[in-house]
Structure formats: structure tokens, C-alpha cells
Amino acid sequence: MSLQRGIMGGLPRAGAAYRRASGDADGYGGLLTIDLGAIARNWRRLSARVAPARASAVVKADAYGLGAHEVAPTLYRAGCRAFFVAHVEEGIKLRAVLPRDAEIIILHGAPARSEPDCDAYQLTPVLNCMEQLTAWIRFTSANGLKRRCVVQFDTGMTRFGFDLSEASSVAAALGMAGSRPSLVMSHLACADDPSAASNAVQRERLLDLRKLFPDTELSLAASSGIFLGPDYHLDLVRPGAALYGVNPAGTDPNPMESTIRLWGRIMQVREVPAGTEVGYGLAGRTKAATRLATVAVGYADGFFRSASGRASAWLGSKRLPLVGRVSMDSIVVDLAALPGPPLVPGDLLDLLGDAYGVDDLAADAGTIGYEILTGLSSRYWREYVE
């Protein structure tokens, strides 16, 4: 039974039949639903936006915490054929669930002695430095292979990639080896700021490399870069966070569909008078007599401690502010805004959903949506729905 079908009146009750292969959801402090259909629709929306450029999918960090083994096959069925991960080990695990015609590209490249794994599992390394380039050419030449590779250049972020001054040497080395990269890429440092002059500078620097790599595809834009406009789409875009519902358009309304919903389970409810001090350091204080619910989700579950005093839980359209500090395994929520029958232990409150999303929690925690997603705990009971 899907979690949606198990919800009664918008609020799951203790004892409801939430099941997964490993056991009963009633034993979990938090319930996380991941909408694979929404992820697929987000990819299709971006793919249509950038056409005739192609859209790949970044599924590193276990698909930003949402489960690469479930997300990547969904995106493949939606039409995606190129997938980016960070590490060779991520690529090996991903190959087990993707057909051979799906290209898996390793952003960090092939560390020393991992080249045979790239060949065995048909992984495409991104070559970022001379050490990686030399090792890759040595391996492929010694084994008579014509394996694909991607080359990255640092056009201004000072993170990964060859220096532009090395471009001629890179092109010459690949030419002598009889190899041509399938893609030349770079990464924007300020894509989330359309006014940043560095965006156009980085684009022009990448386009200049066409002189050395004619007929090779170029890629520059990730999620936010897509929304800088067609000049940044080039041949291939690499959306990641946008696929999972993080707003790629800065302060503009989010063009992407929400993909997750998180509930926290109430473990205890108590009546308290005005002026009651709450939590570690007694940092919270009630302004009036109220009911407080202790909810079994905390910073060990990815609900950041820095959101203390700012974040909230929700029930429908009712905002329920947190009181006191976020603990490792729990938060305390003020239920004063709720009319009607009182909540009881076992009931669930919305922690992430339509009223309060990933970017909202990120703002309250002083971070970004990427960190919220990748911090989602394995302690949650997970339900994948389409």
C-alpha cells in the first residue's frame, strides 16, 4: 500500500498499515515519500526547455539523497541517456540498474588503478588534470582500447579541470593517442546570479576551446545555468538539484515540481503553562499556555540544528512553530494553532511538503536545498510513488 493511500484525512494515524519489505513504518520516527513521477516530469520539462540541446541527469550522492537505484531507472524510462556521478564506485553501483546504452560519466575522473573498472563497467571518466590524462592514455593504449572520455577545463571557478593554458597540450596528447573526447565541459561558478559578469566570461572561454576540439560537444550549464538562457545550453546540460525540486531560478518562483514529502511522528504531547522553558539550554520559552508535541526527527535525520527557533512543522495550512533547539533525535512543536480534536502520540506532522519545502527549510537553516536533500537520513521509512 502506498503511503498516500494510507493517509486518513490528510494525517496518518498510529497503527495504520504502512508497509515496506523490511517492516512496518510504525517503527520509524519519520516517513519520507519520494515522487518518482515528479522527478521524471521535471526532467522532461528541462529537456523540452533546452532542446535541441540534450539533457543529462546528475545522480551523484545517491541521487542527492533520494536513491539513485530508484531515480536513475525512472529517468532512463523518461528518455535520459547520460548520467553523471562523482566517484567510480558510484558508477559501478549505478551500472547494475541501467542498460548498457546509458552513459555513466564520472565527474572526479578515474583515480590511479581504477581505469580497469571504468573499462569493465563502461564508465566514462572526466579527465581533470595531466595525471589523469596520462594514466588514461597509458591504460587505453596498452590494452588497445578506444574508450570514451570527457575533458574538463577550469574556465574560472578554480576547482576541477585543466588550466586553459594546458589546452593545446591536452589536445595534442589525445591526438597522438588517436583519441577524441566525446565532450568538453566546464562548470559555472555563479550560475545562480544572472547578473554575474563571470557567467559570460566562462562561456566565451569554453567556446574558444572549439578551435582545439572541433566537432566535440560542449557542456557548461547545470541546473541554474539552464535558466541563464539558450546561449548557455550549448550541446548538453547537466541538471541535478532541479530534478529533485530545488529552485534553480534564485528568487524567482520555483519552476520545478516538488518531489518529496516528509512527516515526523509525534511521540509525546503535554499541556504546559505560559513561560515554560523548553529544550537544551532552556533556549525556548512558551508565550502562552499551550500544547507541545515532541516529534521523533532531529539533526541526525537531516533536520538541521541551525533551524532551531526558525523552522516549523505543519498540519494542512496550519503553521506549527518549533520551540527550543533541534536535538539529535527530536524537535518540540507548538500545537496552539490547531483547533479540533487533540493530536496523540503516533500522529504525523508535515515537516517538508507543499506548505514548507526544501528551500524553505534551507533558508531557515542558513544553508541551501542541496544540503537539505543530501542530508536526508537513512532512518526514515521511505516510500517511492509514481
At residue 84, the pLDDT reads 98
Show the cell assigned to 68: 539513485
Strand-strand pairing, 123-127 and 150-152: parallel
Radius of gyration of the CA atoms of the chain, in A:
24
The residues that are catalytic are: 60, 280
From residue 22, give the alpha-carbon distance in Å to each of 28, 281, 375, 376: 12, 38, 22, 19
At residue 251, the pLDDT reads 73
Strand-strand pairing, 19-20 and 23-24: antiparallel
How far is residue 43's CA from residue 79's CA, in Å, rounded to a whole number? Answer: 9
Contact yes or no for 203/231 (Cβ under 8 A): yes
pLDDT by residue (tens digit) across 261-300? Answer: 999 999 999 999 999 999 999 999 999 999 999 999 999 9
At residue 163, the pLDDT reads 98
The terminus-to-terminus CA distance of the chain in angstroms comes to: 13
What is the DSSP secondary structure assignment for residue 86, as one 8-state letter?
S
Q: Look up residue 261 and give its amino acid.
A: R
Closest CA to 330 of 305, 357, 310: 305
Contact yes or no for 229/341 (Cβ under 8 A): no
Measured in whole angstroms, the distance separating CA 51 from the mean position of its chain's CA atoms is 23
Contact yes or no for 28/381 (Cβ under 8 A): yes
Any idea which residue has 541527469 for its cell?
57
DSSP secondary structure string for all residues of 200-216: HHHHHHHHHGGGTSTT-
Residues of the chain with pLDDT under 70: 1-24
Strand-strand pairing, 277-278 and 284-285: antiparallel
Q: Please give the backbone phi and psi of residue 248, each rounded to the nearest 5 degrees, phi first.
A: -90, 0
What is the DSSP secondary structure assignment for residue 378, as one 8-state letter?
T
Dihedral sign, Cα of residue 301, residue 306, residue 308, residue 309 = negative
Strand partners, 31: 263, 381
From residue 32, give the alpha-carbon distance in Å to each of 63, 69, 72, 302: 15, 16, 18, 12
Strand-strand pairing, 54-55 and 236-238: parallel
CB atoms within 10 A of CB 367: 15
